[in-house]
Amino acid sequence: MSFPDGFLWGAGTSAYQIEGHHGRGESVWDEFCRRPGAIEGGGDGSRACDSYLRWREDIELIKELGLRAYRFSTGWSRVMPGGDRPDPKALDHYERFVDALLEAGVEPVLTLNHWDMPAGLTWAERSSVNAFRTYAEAVAGRLADRVTWWITQNEPWIIALLGYQLGLHAPGVADLGTAVKAGHHVLLGHGAAADVLHAHPGTKAGAALSLFPCDPATDSEEDRAAAIGSDGYVNRWYLDPLLGGSGYPADMREHWERALGHGLDFVHDGDEAAIGGRSDFLGINYYTRRVMAAAPPAPFPWKVVGPSGDVARTDEGWEINPGALRDLLIGLSRRFPGTPLMITENGGVFGDGPTHDGQIHDNRRVAYLRDHVEAVGAAIDAGADVRGYLHWSLMDNFEWALGYRPRFGLVHVDYASGARTVKDSGRYYARLIAGGGTAPALPRIEAFG
């Protein structure tokens, strides 16, 4: 494998998941967490990893792991506590943080919207696009002179699906029509923010999409059609307007009009032109694939059935399939030539905790890292233009509706004390980075001393 010079080896977090409250404005997630039963275990982001106060300690961890890039988000509800005017103290904080990253030789990868929308705003309303533009102007005005890589929106499909279609994430709306409209407004927000960023020379703007390769459960014509439909719903509905040059895919337009019983009147003339042609790169959040079978037509003529047979899985039950990541990267590079790709999230839930020696021997995450980095390397060797790999996540954190149970981190966090402990996977990743992406042999546990 040959990773290019300047390849961005890093990890990521988001503001609401790690920072804690500490002067932040009310967000839609603060409201959602107060709903009885909304969060597994009843937790919220009021303390999380306390990173707003412990940010210097976190930068020391980043340096210890040898990360060359760090993805983080500026808290939207922190910067714009009322949704309309910026708080200079919040911008001061993020300015200090970015300067410290740069001083440590770490490339900042800044996410504007990682879901912590200020309370009182909603993606169901078109006015959210203007609010997001104002927020982007405030952050870019302070940081665009030293941050190159900007992620406008994190996972538009997940925002629409879990936040507005199923009601499992903030703001907890469960309405299919509202979900499709909200997803459109999120993409319009990308276009608006990208225009703001491109007024600052040298910035690169892109959205981070949660991409799930969709495979048919069998070779039947029906299951193949189900996989194509699922791909349209999950992937192409967002990829095509961002990168395809011709707006939303026609087959999915027809699907939504059929499912909703009316036209997509919220897509105004000029909207698709305001979304497309503004992405300097594509962020890819990859966790697993979807194995699809045909289903009765309403509202979706497909269903997820999962892989057959005994497959490797994370503790959350997600199939571990690095080969699907390799094929995804190759396919995207061929479909959208000239668009650089960046892995903005990739990771798994492995619940290993401290053992008798106080260390965390998360051998399965070590193997997961090795295999997925090898998959990225194979895609690069096949011609994919991949600029970076940002593992999710730097540290264990608040995992949205799942609370604090799932652990994604390279660093273990004891939530009672806030103590950080680098896991074996973090030390392995440090060695991998130092070797330029050459994955060292999986060592015995004691080799991580």
Hey, which residues are catalytic here? 155, 345
184: CB partners within 8 A, 6+ apart: 264, 266, 267, 271
Task: Yes or no: say if 289 and 214 are a contact pair by the CB < 8 Å rule.
Answer: yes
Q: Is 151 helix (H, G, I), strand (E, B) or coil?
A: strand
The 10 Å Cβ neighbour count of residue 62 is 22
Distance CA 334, CA 338 (A): 9
Which two structure tokens, joined as six digits, stand for 216?
């048919």
Q: What does residue 106 show for φ and ψ, rounded to 5 degrees?
A: -110, 130
Question: What single letter denotes the amino acid at residue 411?
Answer: V
- Strand 149-154 and strand 107-113: pairing? parallel
By C-alpha distance, which of 335, 191, 326 is closest to 249? Answer: 335
Dihedral (CA of 130, 131, 136, 137) sign? positive
User: How far apart, in whole angstroms, are the C-alpha atoms of residue 285 and residue 206?
Assistant: 13
Cβ atoms of 430 and 66 within 8 Å: the answer is yes
